Chain A
């Protein structure tokens, strides 16, 4: 298998943009790495489904920060829940361990210590239980549903400021 003389790999996102990335970055994407290794000849362009150009921008940002030892500075706070979820799916598809862990932790942080009502509202999860089912589940671990967790009303007040 002839090795590529170029140090750049071309990745084509779902919205048709081509990104030329360093081989080292491509190596952090296990999915891409597998495609490269399975190819008989040199691959010129690797299509990456489910990954959009704005995802690649963030992936490159993260890569640059982690190479400089500053991966802790990477933040996804500005993403809303839909965007975070899409990004998480893209990174999951590309099979990038470190970034995946960062993003799942970001989602877990958004769930932490919030009330059930808050989580439902925030993520748009519909309650499809009957009132009887709902009461039965609450009763099983009743202590978990009590306490000083943040309720939706509190958050609405903050937003109006």
Chain B
């Protein structure tokens, strides 16, 4: 009669990995055969909303926590772990609103996971006084298993009660909205010789940004970190980056003017370009020195100034530009032509205009005097609704990009992964109409390469 139970343990345990914690526990009472199968589960994810039966799709950070019963959650997790007899835990994830009184019990849970060889720890603890992640829970015998650590809203610093023992096998470290001691990060970087990925976002440091020095790091992400001095938040920037193996850098800070960089293998950069008065932002000069830079993604909050770039981006193949403009009345796209000119080997240029609007004052389109570009094959312009600056850009680029195969114009845009595509059908028609009129009817060189979406 019982056909499902005839499946071997390994298949059943695979099925059990796909169940919620509650459904998993229910299987323990199905029959004697099933009683211990739940111990085979190796990924434990305790999220207060799921465990308390909430069907809300809002993430934990956005929900008010007045109605959530923290003590009940703690009781349930405790019950689970007290009865769990599995010998190996691969990942331990915890998301909840905690109080200071929960510190000890969280320490106990983490110890439980460490004792079972946990490789990945994810903590999201929304609390007023940040939970201090207990690095001293790790001892000589068990620091080798941890590979991935992700902490959100925690306190990260040297353990005070004993000597800290480094993680020999740590591969990735991600810290969000946490209070971090930069000396500790520097010590981690020195001691974790296999660290590949470091992510520091919205973190508060003690007095400065850590110096990022590592012989193994390949991906670095830094976003809007700061220090607090006299009740005021002060933004801080990267000043020292010495990573021989770094291939990808994502940086959303304020200013890269004082950056000392030694990253010969850097291949991809994604960064926010600050508003600047300088004719040649030092940032560009810095990036131009990188011998392997092939992909650059830049976020602009104002128009790109017309630059005179003295050193070209010699190896750049792909350039993605996204504009976050509040008001398009003083906007134009000609600055991008200078960036294009500074990238002689560029194959693909993608431009995205977020939140586009139809500008009231449609200026006259002008021809710009620029040298030819012999490499670029594909150009994409998204969020294009038929404004004069878009048409001006397209006409000029068609004229001098001799090897261009395709230029794609589309009104669709997307701000980032969490925002939906937006399109207004009426708008779309008008924009398309305007573009068609100007570009298809007039005598525009290369218009056969146009693709209108």
Binding site for B on A (CB under 8 A): 81-82, 85-86, 88-89, 92, 100, 104-105, 107-108, 111-116, 119-120, 123-129, 134, 137-138, 140-145, 147-149
Instruction: Give, as a whole number of angstroms, the nearest-CB distance from B271 to chain A.
Output: 34
Tell me, in angstroms, the Cα distance from A62 to B29 when the chains sit together: 35
Contacts of B28 in A (CB 8 A): 137, 140-141
Measured CB to CB, the nearest residue on chain B to A101 is B14
Q: A111-B19, A112-B19, A147-B22 are in contact. Are A125 and B2 (CB under 8 A)?
A: yes
Chain B count of residues within 8 A CB distance of the other chain: 34
Write the chain A residue with the least CB distance to B35: A137
CB pair B23–A113 under 8 Å, yes or no, is yes
The reply on B4 being an interface residue by CB < 8 A is yes
List 20 extra interface pairs beyond A125-B4, A140-B79, CB under 8 A: A85-B3, A85-B4, A104-B11, A107-B15, A108-B19, A113-B23, A115-B26, A116-B29, A120-B31, A125-B30, A129-B32, A137-B28, A137-B29, A140-B28, A141-B76, A142-B79, A143-B75, A143-B79, A144-B25, A145-B26
| Interface assignment of B7: CB less than 8 Å from any CB of chain A | yes
Closest chain-B Cβ to A153's Cβ sits at a distance in Å of 18
Contacts of A115 in B (CB 8 A): 26
A141 and B16 alpha carbons, distance in the complex (Å): 17
Q: Across the interface, name the chain B residue whose C-beta is closest to A145.
A: B26
Once the chains are docked, how many angstroms separate the CA of A105 from the CA of B83?
26
Query: How far does the alpha carbon of A114 sit from the alpha carbon of B75 in the complex, in Å?
Result: 23
A124 touches B31 (CB 8 A): no
Given A85-B7, A104-B11, A138-B29 in contact, is the A125-B34 Cβ separation under 8 Å?
Answer: yes
Nearest neighbor of A91 in chain B, beta-carbon distance: B11
A105 B18 Cβ-Cβ under 8 A: yes
The answer, yes or no, to whether B278 is at the interface (CB within 8 Å) is: no
Main secondary structure of the interface of A (DSSP, over half): helix
Q: B: which residues have CB within 8 A of A? A: 1-7, 11, 14-16, 18-23, 25-32, 34-35, 53, 72, 75-76, 79-80, 83
Task: Name A143's closest neighbour in chain B (CB-CB).
Answer: B76
**Given contacts A104-B18, A141-B79, A147-B53, A134 and B29 within 8 Å (CB-CB):** yes
Contact of B30 among A112, A116, A143 (CB under 8 A): A116
| A125→B32 CA distance, assembly (Å) | 10
List the A side residues contacting B15 at CB < 8 Å.
Answer: 104, 107-108, 111
Can you list 5 A-B pairs with a CB-CB distance of less than 8 A? Answer: A104-B14, A125-B2, A126-B1, A127-B30, A144-B25
Residue from B5, B11, B16, B25 in contact with A123 in the complex, judged by beta carbons closer than 8 Å: B5
Residues of A within 8 A of B29 (CB): 116, 129, 134, 137-138, 145
| Chain B interface, >50% SS class | helix
Instruction: Determine which residue in A123, A138, A144 has the highest number of CB atoms from chain B within 10 A of its CB, and name it.
Output: A144
Cross-chain contact A124 with B23 (CB below 8 angstroms): no
- Distance between Cα atoms of A147 and B22 in the complex (Å): 10
With A116-B30, A125-B31 as contacts: A108 and B18 at CB distance below 8 Å: yes
Closest approach, in angstroms, between the C-beta of B322 and any C-beta of chain A? Answer: 28
> Which residues of B have CB within 8 Å of A138?
29
Given contacts A112-B19, A120-B30, whether A141 and B7 have CB atoms under 8 Å apart is: no
Bound complex: CA A95 to CA B262 (Å): 47
Cβ A85 vs Cβ B18 within 8 A: no
Which 8 pairs between the two chains have the least Cβ-Cβ distance? A108-B18, A144-B25, A124-B1, A123-B4, A141-B25, A85-B3, A125-B2, A140-B83
Contacts of B1 in A (CB 8 A): 124, 126
In the bound complex, CA of A141 to CA of B82 (Å): 10
Q: Across the interface, do A126 and B2 meet the contact criterion of CB distance under 8 Å?
A: yes
Is B7 touching A89 in the complex (CB atoms < 8 A)? yes
Closest Cβ neighbor of A113 among chain B residues:
B23
Given contacts A104-B15, A108-B19, contact A128 B32 (CB under 8 A): yes
B23: which A residues are within 8 A, CB to CB? Answer: 111-114
**A148 and B388 alpha carbons, distance in the complex (Å):** 59
Which residues of A are found within 8 Å of B25, using beta-carbon distances?
141, 144-145
Would you give the shortest CB distance from B99 to chain A, in whole angstroms? 20
Residue of A nearest to B21 (CB): A144
List of A residues within 8 angstroms of B4 by Cβ: 81, 85, 107, 123-125
By beta carbon, the residue of chain A nearest B28 is: A137
Taking a contact as CB atoms under 8 Å apart, the answer to whether A116 and B26 are in contact is yes
